[in-house]
Amino acid sequence: MGDLSANFSRREFACKDGCGRDFPTAELVALLQRARDDIGAPLRIVSGLRCRFHNGTVGGSRQSQHIQGRAADVDPGYATIRQWRSYGAVGIGVRRAQVTHVDVRPGRAPFTFTS
């Protein structure tokens, strides 16, 4: 049981540097909950919110959606790009097969990137 949705809690999204940032947007939580419901298995959030300092230490973009609470990196392999799109993801990225980045950034058509 989560305090944000049926399966997600604020602590899962907390900034890894301990600054206290831990509240993602409702749109991001809804996206991840749709994925969780469809997949039928837990999703592990590798990286959720980031303060600007922590984002800089991990090499994140200055306009990172993680800073805004609109992005999460999850373990890869849960869903295909097509599935993430159907759940509502706008930005989808695969980073060195270690994580899948999904975000709900406003004002953009869906896009995909890899690194």
Q: What is the CATH number of the domain that holds 58?
A: 3.30.1380.10
pTM for the model: 0.91
Q: Domain span at residue 24?
A: 10-114
Instruction: Report, as ranges of residue numbers, the positions in the chain whose pLDDT lies below 70.
Output: 109-115
pLDDT digits (tens, 9 = 90+) for 47-74: 999 999 999 999 999 999 999 999 999 9
Residue 1 falls inside a structural domain: no
Domain assignment present for residue 5? The answer is no
Q: Nearest-CA neighbor of 66 among 33, 35, 23? A: 23
* Residue 99, beta-bridge partner list: 95
- SS3 label, residue 92: strand
pLDDT at 111: 65
In a domain, 105, yes or no: yes
Q: Which residues contact 94 (CB under 8 A, 6 or more apart)?
A: 76, 100, 101, 114, 115
Does any domain span residue 36?
yes
Number of domains in the chain: 1
